[in-house]
A = this chain, B = another copy of it.
Amino acid sequence: MEPAKPPSSIDRRALLASLSLLPTLSGMLLPAPAPAQTGVTGDPLPSWNDGPAKQAIFDFVRTTTDRANPSYVSPDDRIAVFDQDGTLWVEHPMYTQVVYCLGRVPAVVAQKPQLRDVEPFKTVLSGNQEAITRLSTQQLVKILDTTMSGMSVAQFEDEAKKWLETARHPRWNRFYTELVYQPMLELLRYLRDNAYRTYIVTGGGQGFVRIYARNVYGIPPEQVVGTAVGTSYGYDKNGRPFLTRDPKLLLNDNNAGKPEGIYLMIGQRPYAAFGNSTGDREMLEYTGAGDGARLMMLVLHDDVQREFAYGPALGLPDTKVGTFTQSLYDEAKRKHWTVISMKSDWKRIFAFE
């Protein structure tokens, strides 16, 4: 099992869209987006409006890369961590990986026909979207579990890759890998250009995100930390070794699991951390607890026209996907974390705009 987020935070209403998302058009995993255009002004963040968020980024990079500054950071220690869902790409109306898992149910049932009349698979196959929204947490875990384990690592990667090359987001009718935020791509590149190693630290499945992270974000597999299952080493009938994905959770990379995952996979405290929900709170706290200059930022989804607006901090209902609570907002203010308003801080949201 490698859930995108803990099942308790899956928006049941969001499941409504699920079955309609089975791929209808084929395509390719998108290549890396064009390099950020710095334009004639030489601005490395051209999709950001001038303002406190953009200024905080510039101040942080200047401070930590200036040898004369007391907060100078050796390139050895320049680590920046990014949540993915809602921070680097769209997470609404539901986490992409949950869409994927629901979409995989027919294929899994075709291979294991005994599941056809067993819940929760029966309900998912029925296409009865009202019933799907009423699936319990345990039932959703069972779906994630069944659709993402019990196969070889190679099979898993092939299947997910095929899906990513065909499935499209219902609102934009574009591949999910196109729905990445252009300002954040520029930020990733700007940090890397300043010798920061950029990591994804996601509640999403580590194996899933690694498939496209290099092409989409310029981030290699070893710099993707995510919710991870164990694997088992074995041999095929020709004696060739292979790894099987087990339904055994090794790391639940949400909330406290984020700093724990950072210790496990990186072994150094980051200097910069970017998130958008309560699931990122501990990662930002842990980053901020270090000495010297640290940069903590939270993306606030407040742009219903160009993307989505959601979260209790905006006085909107909690949709349980990327929840940004009032308490997180208060902590951000108290600790001088920077809140990024998509509406006012981002000139452009997607590369295709």
Contact = CB atoms under 8 A, between A and B. Distances in A.
Interface of A: 76, 153, 197, 206-207, 210, 214, 220-222, 224, 228, 230-233, 240-243, 250-251, 256, 259-260, 263-268, 282, 285-286, 289
Given A243-B263, A286-B241, A268 B76 contact: no
A260 B222 CA distance: 14
Contact of A241 (B197, B222, B259): B259
A264 B220 contact: no
A17 B228 CA distance: 40
A182 B230 CA distance: 36
Query: A76, A206, A220, A263 — which one has the most chain B CB atoms within 10 A of its CB?
Result: A263
Copies in the complex: 2
Nearest to A246: B260
A233 B260 contact: yes
A240 B268 CA distance: 17
Contacts of A266: 221-222
A333 B197 CA distance: 40
Nearest to A260: B231
Contact of A222 (B207, B210, B265): B265
Contact of A267 (B222, B250, B263, B282): B222
Nearest to A213: B267
Contacts of A282: 233, 241
A176 to B, nearest CB: 20
A158 to B, nearest CB: 15
Contacts of A222: 197, 222, 265-268
Contacts of A231: 260, 263-264
A265 B228 CA distance: 10
The 4 closest A-B pairs by CB, nearest first: A221-B267, A233-B256, A222-B266, A210-B267
A243 B260 contact: yes
A106 B282 CA distance: 35
Contacts of A256: 232-233
Contacts of A207: 267
B286 A214 contact: no
Contacts of A250: 250-251, 264
Contacts of A240: 289
Nearest to A285: B241
B233 A267 contact: no
19 contacts: A76-B220, A197-B222, A206-B267, A221-B266, A221-B268, A222-B222, A224-B267, A228-B264, A230-B260, A231-B260, A231-B263, A232-B260, A233-B256, A233-B260, A241-B259, A243-B263, A250-B251, A250-B264, A265-B265
